[in-house]
Amino acid sequence: MPVSVVIPAYNEEKYLPRTLEALEAALTNLPGTEIIVVDNESTDATREIAESHRAKIVNEHEHNIGRVRNTGGIAATGDVIIFLDADTLVAPGLFEKIDKRMSDPRCIGGSVAVEYEPHYQRPWMRFYLGLALLVGRLAKIRQGALQFCTREVFRELGGYDTTIYVGEDIEFHWRLDKVARDRGAFTTFIEEPKVLTSSRRWEKMGLFRMLILTHPITIFLAWRMPSFWKDWYEDAVR
C-alpha cells in the first residue's frame, strides 16, 4: 500500500537528522514510501538536511501546526498518510505493523503509543509523564507524535482544524473516531513498538510551567487562542 510520511518542521536541525535516519532504517522493507518535510519558514539548516535525505520539501509560511500538517497532507500521494513529529524516532517493524492494520479496509487510521526520551527526565517528570500517558489511554486521547489515516478520509475531514493551535492532533483523532463509528469501521492504536519523542520542553521550561500548559483543561479552554501559546510559536523551544 503506497504510503506518504509527512514531517512538519520549524528550525529542527538538531532533531531532524536522527528522525530521518531512523525513518529510513524503518522503511527498509517498504521501498517507495514518500517522505515529505513541510518547511515552516525555518531559519536554520532544516531545509538542507531534508534535501540531503532526498525528502520531498513543501513550504508553509503560516506558523500554525494544523495548517503545516495539512500542507503536507495535501501534497501527499500515498493511499495512507502518516504524520510524524520532527523530534520523534520510529523503530524497525512499526511501518510493517501499520501496513498490516491498514490492509483491513475497515481500518481508516490510528495512532502509535509514545514514550519520552529518558535521559532528560527527572523523577517528578517520569511520574507525571507516566500518569499523563495512562490517563490519555483511558480517555482515548491520542497524541500526534505519529498519527495516520487514509488519504481519502483525511480529505473528507478537511484535515486538521487550523483554528486550533495546540491539541489539534487530539481533535483530529476524535473526528477520525466519529467517522469510523458512523461507518461501522474502526481506528487502531499500536502499543508496540512505541515511538520515542523528545522531552525538550519539559527540560527547558520547567515543572510548573509545563504542568499548566499541558493540562487538558488548559488545552481545551485555550487551544484556539494563539497568543496563549507563544512558547509553541513565538519562542518555540528547539
Instruction: Please give the residue that has the higher pLDDT: either 92 or 233.
Output: 92
pLDDT at 201 over 60: yes
pLDDT at 132 over 70: no
- Report pLDDT digits (tens) over 137-156: 666 666 779 999 999 999 99
Q: Which of 99-108, 120-129, 161-170 has the lowest mean pLDDT?
A: 120-129
pLDDT at 121 over 70: no
Instruction: Please give the residue that has the higher pLDDT: either 124 or 230.
Output: 230
Rounded mean pLDDT, 197-208: 79
pLDDT at 119 over 60: no
Task: Give the start-to-end residue ranges of the domains of the chain.
Answer: 3-229
**Confidence at residue 125, expressed as pLDDT on a 0 to 100 scale:** 66
**Which DSSP string corresponds to 67-99?**
HHHHHHHHH--SSEEEEE-TTEE--TTHHHHHH
pTM above 0.85, yes or no: yes
Distance CA(94)–CA(20), nearest Å, equals 15
First-to-last alpha carbon distance for the chain, in angstroms, is 34
The C-alpha cell at 135 is 490517563
3-229, superfamily in CATH? Answer: Spore Coat Polysaccharide Biosynthesis Protein SpsA; Chain A (3.90.550.10)
- Report pLDDT digits (tens) over 46-55: 999 999 999 9
Q: Where are the beta strands (DSSP E) in the chain?
A: 3-9, 34-39, 56-59, 80-84, 88-89, 107-116, 146-150, 186-197
pLDDT band at 63 (very low <50, low <70, confident <90, very high): very high
Rounded mean pLDDT, 42-66: 97
Q: What percent of the chain has pLDDT over 90?
A: 71
pLDDT at 120 over 70: no
**Confidence at residue 230, expressed as pLDDT on a 0 to 100 scale:** 85
Instruction: Please give the residue that has the higher pLDDT: either 116 or 226.
Output: 226
